[in-house]
Amino acid sequence: MSRLVVVSNRLPLGDNPSGGLVVALDDALRSSGGLWIGFSGEPVDDPADALIDHPGAAFDRLSFDLSPEDHHNYYLGFSNSVLWPICHGRADLSHLDPIYLDGYRKVSARIARLMVPHLRPDDRIWVQDYQLFALGAELRKLGVRNAIGHFLHIPFPAPAECATLPNPAELFDWMMAYDLVGFQARRDLDNFAASGHHMTGMEQTDENRFALGGRTLRAEVFPIGIDARSFVEEARDAPDADRVRFLTNARLMIGVDRLDYSKGIPQRFRAFQQLLDKIPDLHEQISFLQIAPPTRSGVQAYDDIREETEHLAGRINGQFATLNWTPIRFINRPYPRQVLAGLYRQARIGLVTPLADGMNLVAKEFVAAQDPEDPGVLILSRFAGAVEQMPAALVINPHDAHETAAAMASAMRMSKAERKSRHQELLSVVLEKDVAWWSAAYLKALDEEAAQDALTE
């Protein structure tokens, strides 16, 4: 069988892979063997002009270095101050600077050049996410004819959002270099079709086939999953010592997110404030734990969201707290997976309310962690990709504080029978469409495209 080569922005070098993408790909590579290429993690003044080997894993690992300038322009700049906000519907937070786009092109070309000596003719190459949109096109420029696929973990922008990119036509040029493009949700495939047509005249020739400038592409939806069975076990075996203790008989409501403006954390705080304002009976009966470690510090919008959320949490606690009850606990640091699993299981409500999100794995982790005999309730934004698979959650519009507060109240009151039946429906999809299903489905489609190419050559 041909080798799998995964390329992602970050190469996990620790012993315990964490984070949705990393665990997913770690599993795929462990089962098939192969090579993982990614950024070494910290910018260095004198980057090596070669990939660096990291032996000691079940598969091969090669990293590339970035200079501080490249890291700034390609990663903090074009990736996280242009593509991320625009793909999440926040063009108002984007910083369009031609230096960023140049840096992105330059780093993509450099990664491609460093990769080529390591490639074998029958390798399947699987490129991950928005930081590496351009990698396929750069590899093609260097004559790489292997099957190359891309998977986008975040939303694909609709036409009006795409038009706010500095280079919408170039984005589609980059995409067309791939044999297969995977999206999280139907919504993204629809946006890809509409935006491509609008920006470049790209034609949809079949449900999953697109043509532009003499090139064709297969694009399809592969909703990412979690390692559900191991999560179920971790939640069941989580130590009691790591539970939240209350002085009143409050129930726990939990949110777990990177501190990112796309996750709707201030909106969720305001909805909670609304709930406490409207239903005084719930005072001391519900306690909200928000775990949100900061990311991408140095990007202004991330520093701003931190200040806004800290301010809101302080104000709500100041307004409602009693001697025995703190309405919101706001914690800015990461926790081990098993601690999170135990906290999810303890919670009566899981709050997953992004304003835009590719999938959202926390929604799936929360469901997997529940006790099936007495499960908690998932409140889920209609803007998370996960909603397409999880309509049995309480689905809300996160911009609507009234609706979100009403969902919190109804989750607090919900009968055990209804909680169990909703949970059963949610759990069956989380177990069935797990991470192994995701990578197998994607790689099967990529193999089909490789076989097709071989026939037409």
Is 71 catalytic? The answer is: no
* Contacting residue, 357, 366, 368, 412, with ligand ADQ by CB under 6 A: 357
State yes or no: residue 21 binds ligand ADQ (CB under 6 A). Answer: yes
Q: Which is nearer to ligand ADQ, 293 or 391 (CB)?
A: 293
Of the listed 71, 88, 150, 153, which one is catalytic? 153
State yes or no: residue 291 binds ligand ADQ (CB under 6 A). Answer: yes
State yes or no: residue 224 binds ligand ADQ (CB under 6 A). Answer: yes
Torsion of CA 301, 304, 306, 312, to 10 degrees: -130
- Binding span for ligand ADQ by CB under 6 A among 18-26, 50-58, 209-217, 247-255: 18-26
State yes or no: residue 70 binds ligand ADQ (CB under 6 A). Answer: no
Structure tokens at 429: 């999809």
- Report the nearest approach of ligand ADQ to the CB of residue 21 (Å): 5
Q: Which is nearer to ligand ADQ, 123 or 357 (CB)?
A: 357
What string of H, E and C letters represents the secondary structure of 366-393? Answer: HHHHCCCCCCCEEEEECCEHHHHCCCCC
x/- site string to ligand ADQ, residues 381 to 420, per CB under 6 A? ----------------------------------------
Are residues 59 and 31 in contact, defined by beta-carbon separation less than 8 angstroms? no
Q: Which helix (H) or strand (E) holds 331?
A: strand 328-331
Cα–Cα distance for residue pair 194/196, rounded to 1 Å? 6
State yes or no: residue 361 binds ligand ADQ (CB under 6 A). Answer: yes
Of the listed 65, 357, 423, 434, which one is catalytic? 357
Cα–Cα distance for residue pair 189/312, rounded to 1 Å? 36
Q: Which of 330, 329, 315 is nearest to 277 (CA)?
A: 315
- Report the nearest approach of ligand ADQ to the CB of residue 189 (Å): 15
- DSSP string for 23-83: HHHHHHHHHH-EEEEEE-SS--SS--SS-EE--SSSSEEEEE---HHHIIIIIIIIIIIII
State yes or no: residue 132 binds ligand ADQ (CB under 6 A). Answer: no
* Contacting residue, 138, 234, 365, 449, with ligand ADQ by CB under 6 A: 365
* Contacting residue, 199, 343, 359, 377, with ligand ADQ by CB under 6 A: 359
- Report the nearest approach of ligand ADQ to the CB of residue 367 (Å): 13
- Report the nearest approach of ligand ADQ to the CB of residue 260 (Å): 6
- Give how far Cα 355 sits from Cα of 332, 371, 383, 398, Å: 20, 28, 6, 6
Residues from 239 through 278 that contact ligand ADQ (CB under 6 A): 256-258
Cα–Cα distance for residue pair 408/414, rounded to 1 Å? 10
- Give how far Cα 435 sits from Cα of 72, 184, 229, 244, Å: 32, 12, 10, 29
Based on the number of CB atoms within 10 Å of its own CB, is 51 exposed (0-12), middle (13-18) or buried (19 or more)? buried
* Contacting residue, 182, 255, 358, 398, with ligand ADQ by CB under 6 A: 358
- DSSP string for 250-282: PEEEEEE--B-GGG-HHHHHHHHHHHHHH-GGG
State yes or no: residue 103 binds ligand ADQ (CB under 6 A). Answer: no
Is 150 catalytic? The answer is: no
x/- site string to ligand ADQ, residues 146 to 175, per CB under 6 A? -------xx---------------------
* Contacting residue, 293, 314, 372, 391, with ligand ADQ by CB under 6 A: 293
Q: Which of 423, 456, 436 is nearest to 229 (CA)?
A: 436
Name the residue type at position 313. Answer: A
- Report the nearest approach of ligand ADQ to the CB of residue 432 (Å): 17
Residues from 331 through 350 that contact ligand ADQ (CB under 6 A): 334-335, 340
Torsion of CA 262, 24, 343, 348, to 10 degrees: 70
Q: How many residues bind ligand ADQ (CB under 6 A)?
A: 21
Q: Which is nearer to ligand ADQ, 305 or 361 (CB)?
A: 361
Active site residues: 153, 357
Q: In the complex, which residues of this chain contact ligand ADQ (CB under 6 A)? A: 19-21, 153-154, 224, 256-258, 291, 293, 334-335, 340, 357-362, 365
